[in-house]
Amino acid sequence: KCQNNGAFQSVLYCHVGILPQTNSSKVPSDQKHIKVLVHGHGRDNALAKDSKWVSDRKQYTSDASSANSSVPGLTTYEEIILINDNGEMLEGSQTNFYVVHDHKTPPTIITANEGVLHGSVRDSVLRICRNNNITVEFRPPTLTDLKKASGVFISSTSRWVMRVHEVVLGDLL
């Protein structure tokens, strides 16, 4: 804070960056095969996109040829889904994460409610679920949920809602 004519002013820092271009971003959206990788750990403070998280996530979002990357072949993935020590998938490095079970009646969507950033697109997804009587289980999806899933999708302000065609477990197998 700095003093200006006896009044205090706050300073707001904003991170702006170009999303890494993946192979799938070069294909028209109706023809994309969206692939995500389950890898890495969630952030310390999920309630805010702070500057520490921007720095921390570089290891997951840097180009695979970069020395900062811990993920071989990163550019083939649309997103990195973060998993905790309990095998729970909280969110992506830049997205919210959802698992769909439509073999249940009514259909159910599983998504974490704690340890994630509650964004505006996520709020819209949840409102659409409520308005269409789709059950939402607010808990982190697990690998068992993933095995039983009839679908998976991610959401963010930069991607809106994106169906995932393939989830790669990488070194979790």
Res 68 pLDDT > 80: no
Helix, strand, coil share (%) of the chain residues, nearest 5 = 25, 30, 50
Which pLDDT score, from 0 to 100, does residue 86 have?
A: 86
Report yes or no: 61 and 78 within 8 Å, Cβ to Cβ.
no
Work out the average pLDDT over 80-97.
89
In the numeric block, which tokens belong to residue 129?
């679920």
10 Å Cβ neighbour count for 80?
Answer: 23
- Comparing 16-20, 87-91, 160-164, the range with the smallest average pLDDT is 16-20
Res 122 pLDDT > 50: yes
Q: Give the closest residue to 42 by CA, choosing from 77, 89, 6, 75.
A: 89
In the numeric block, which tokens belong to residue 172?
């979790």
Residue range 20-57, pLDDT digits in tens: 555 545 555 556 788 898 887 665 555 555 555 455 55
DSSP state of 53: H
Instruction: Report d(CA 96, CA 110) in Å as an integer.
Output: 11
- Tell me which of 170 and 122 has the higher pLDDT: 122
Report yes or no: 150 and 102 within 8 Å, Cβ to Cβ.
yes
Place of tokens 């991170």: 15
Instruction: Tell me the average pLDDT of the chain.
Output: 76
**Could you give the count of Cα atoms lying within 13 Å of 107 in the half-sphere of its Cβ?**
15
Q: Give the closest residue to 50 by CA, choosing from 107, 117, 114.
A: 117
In the numeric block, which tokens belong to residue 95?
């997205």
